[in-house]
Amino acid sequence: MTDDQNPRLVALRGATTVDADTEGGIRQRTEELLTQLFERNDLAIDDIVSILFTATPDLRSDFPAGAARTLGLSNTPLLCAQEIPVEGAMARCIRVLIHCYGPAGATRHHVYLHEARQLRLDVPS
């Protein structure tokens, strides 16, 4: 087995925005973000160690982790926290940090959707 085949603990980042602070909007955009991260990185649920979500203070209608549970992550440790309220920061933004196992040396694909693309213009959409 080469180094590329040995699993390694890695972290993936991503973010999205919602149009309005609604339960449905938060769930739909969080599901979309996670689905894109899973697909682009060929992740299986068993590869995931834990997920940390943050949401800006203007998002209070639901927990992003609730959307993750609907995708089958009911046994995965999930944590939601509030993003630091920096003056002029992007509004209605959900960020995610996924700790997972993947092949050593594999390319990692971070995902930034909707208005959150502005956070990382160096990351292809």
- Is 83 tagged catalytic? yes
The stretch 5-30 carries a mean pLDDT of 94
Q: Catalytic: which of 83, 92, 93, 100?
A: 83
Rounded CA separation 70/17 (Å): 19
What DSSP string runs through 61-109?
Answer: S--HHHHHHHTT-TTS-EEEEEPP--TTPPSSEEEEEEEEEEETTPPP-
Considering only 40-49, 97-106, 115-124, which range has the smallest mean pLDDT?
Answer: 115-124
Indicate yes or no: pTM above 0.85. Answer: yes
List the chain domain ranges: 3-118
Q: Tell me, what's the pLDDT at 70? A: 93
Q: Has residue 1 got a pLDDT over 50?
A: no
Q: Tell me, what's the pLDDT at 120? A: 67
Q: Which CATH class is domain 3-118?
A: alpha beta
- Is 80 tagged catalytic? yes
- Is 29 tagged catalytic? no
Q: Has residue 3 got a pLDDT over 50?
A: no
Q: Has residue 24 got a pLDDT over 90?
A: yes
Q: Tell me, what's the pLDDT at 6? A: 77
